[in-house]
Amino acid sequence: MAQHIVILTGAGVSAESGLGTFRDVDGIWSKFDPMELASPEGFARNPVKVLDFYNARRRNLVDAQPNAAHFALAKLEQGLAERGGLLTLVTQNIDDLHERAGSANVLHMHGELLKARCGACSAVMNCREDLSVSDACPGCGDVGALRPHVVWFGEYPEHLDDIAVALADADMFISIGTSGTVWPAAGFVLQARETGARTVELNLEPSDDGRVFDEAHYGPASEIVPDWVETYLT
């Protein structure tokens, strides 16, 4: 039977690629205040500090490599398509590791670190270098309005309409490497359950909000995700 699987990934799927998670013991938010560095108010207050925070993460990303979990999800997308099925891959991550592992259709609901946006004219452009407050927008020329194309706290996530349509149509919903702390992403499992989808959690440990899943496997994503995909496709 052709299946439509919706997957939501979080920082845990990129942890073994060397990109920090947010709420683990030594996570990013244990060192930095999210409201200071991942909010429009924080950017308005101290743009240099926020741009430097994202510049450091962008440099780290350029040197990082996808891990076995990313490759397994690209294989699942291919395997489903060959069976007349569909994979909708939604990620909270702002890295491009899913794409570099071969996933073709990725919905970045919290934006993308390798893109910048102009606060003046809203142009979105590729950005692989450091951003600074003295940079001018290549579109409108405004100086100091460029920011990472990332969804901060209090800002509206991207692709919510497409995600709602996918969740309503899903036969299965799989949550991978996310603590289920950030909304509205944390509510997707409830939406999927309401429309009768089977729900699966693949995580290092049970996500802390005790959401209920029909099936769960715990361990490092680079091990449990390839295992799950292998079992599903055979």
Residues ≥6 apart with Cβ < 8 Å to 52 = none
Please give the positions annotated as active site.
Answer: 110
8 Å CB contact between 161 and 191 = no
Please give the Cα distance from 161 to 159 (Å, whole number). Answer: 6
* Alpha-carbon gap, residue 66 to 194, rounded angstroms: 33
Q: Are 200 and 174 in contact (CB under 8 A)?
A: yes
Out of 4, 142, 181, 233, which residue is the one contacting ligand BV8 (CB under 6 A)? 181
40 binds ligand BV8 (CB under 6 A): no
175 binds ligand BV8 (CB under 6 A): no
- CA dist 41 and 47 (Å) reads 10
> Is 139 a binder of ligand BV8 (CB under 6 A)?
no
| String marking each residue 88-127 x if it binds ligand BV8 according to CB under 6 A | ----xxx---------------x-----------------
The answer to whether residue 15 forms part of the interface with ligand BV8 (CB under 6 A) is yes
In DSSP terms, 217 is beta-bridged to 202
Q: Which of 7, 73, 101, 182 binds ligand BV8 (CB under 6 A)?
A: 182
Chain residues in the site for ligand BV8 (CB under 6 A): 10-12, 15-16, 21-24, 27, 38, 92-94, 110, 150-157, 177-179, 181-184, 203-205, 207, 220-221
